[in-house]
Amino acid sequence: MAKEPMRVLVTGAAGQIGYALVPMIARGVMLGADQPVILHMLDIPPAAEALNGVKMELVDAAFPLLKGVVATTDVVEACTGVNVAVMVGGFPRKEGMERKDVMSKNVSIYKAQASALEAHAAPNCKVLVVANPANTNALILKEFAPSIPEKNVTCLTRLDHNRALGQISERLSVQVCDVKNVIIWGNHSSTQYPDVNHATVKTSSGEKPVRELVADDAWLNGEFITTVQQRGAAIIKARKFSSALSAASSACDHIRDWVLGPLRDICSMGVYSDGHMVCCWTDLLVPVHAAWGWKSSVSRSTSLKKR
């Protein structure tokens, strides 16, 4: 029997990340190859024409899983009935700007969108905040959407996680899918800390620790960390725009593993804990409608505790 369509909201859908993200969702990258979707796309009135252009392209692409498209500048229409909300829209970070510089710009945006989700989203709607500063925006959203369970409000740190996987893959000349269990600690910012102390690589002779295979603690404790921390700024410098394709792909990874569940791999995400949004790692154990929880048996190294 065919599944009922899931309604997925993407805010800022006419922007760079949104434009990369919506075809991934329509193709089944986010929710699976057998899950029909109805896309709800929201953007600001000045972007209405561009948003309509994105809708036309989605229709022209003839995605079999795409059962409908709502393209609107009305936040209530956009949020009505959505099962998943991916909050991409926000004041953009530009070259030379720190996340704190855009924080105040995003308060009014997220207050309005949170109120609309609170009143009109489907029960048990899952929310992923992508727009930076992601932790703060997620806190604002939760504050103004009190009926959405804390466990259903998350922010993106999977991009940092994937960047760490990519750096290790390149260093060891292995397939990135064979690198597992990196951990991202701290905020989604230049102060985050990528941790490889539990990371492994699949080899012909079994799983091997990353530290053993790299055999270069100076690189792992130095250049590797700073490269991951500064990757976003490096991409802005190179492209003059924030990361788009990689951010969209990471958002799909985040939601897919949250909803469908990975095969016991460690995943990094920002979650609500004791009144704060903290970037942590979670072990998603249930393969369908995954429920995540903290895994307290993992300890931080002495050097990490000092940071």
256 is in an annotated binding site: no
167 is in an annotated binding site: no
130 is in an annotated binding site: yes
12 is in an annotated binding site: yes
Secondary structure class of 106 (helix, strand, coil): helix
13 is in an annotated binding site: yes
163 is in an annotated binding site: yes
Phi-psi region of 275 (alpha: psi -120 to 50; beta: other; left: phi over 0): left
188, 198, 276, 289: the active-site residue: 188
14 is in an annotated binding site: yes
99 is in an annotated binding site: yes
Using CA atoms, how far apart are residues 52 and 28, in angstroms rounded to an integer?
22
CA angle 153/246/106 to nearest 5° reads 45
Using CA atoms, how far apart are residues 186 and 287, in angstroms rounded to an integer?
27
Beta strands in the chain (DSSP E): 6-11, 37-42, 66-72, 84-87, 126-129, 153-155, 179-180, 183-185, 193-195, 200-203, 206-209, 266-273, 276-283
84 is in an annotated binding site: no
Long-range CB contact pairs, 234-237, < 8 A, 24+: 236/93, 236/94, 236/95, 237/95
106 is in an annotated binding site: yes
253 is in an annotated binding site: no
Catalytic residue check, 188: yes
Which two structure tokens, joined as six digits, stand for 173?
């000349």
- 3-state secondary structure string, 181-244? CCEEECCCCCCCEEECCCCEEEECCEEEEHHHHHCCHHHHCCHHHHHHHCHHHHHHHHHCCCCC
Which two structure tokens, joined as six digits, stand for 40?
């709800």
Using CA atoms, how far apart are residues 275 and 289, in angstroms rounded to an integer?
25
Q: Are strands 153-155 and 193-195 parallel, antiparallel or unpaired?
A: unpaired
27 is in an annotated binding site: no
Q: Which residues are tagged catalytic?
A: 188
Known binding residues for substrate: 93, 99, 132, 163
Known binding residues: 12-18, 43, 93, 99, 106, 130-132, 163
Known binding residues for NAD(+): 12-18, 43, 106, 130-132
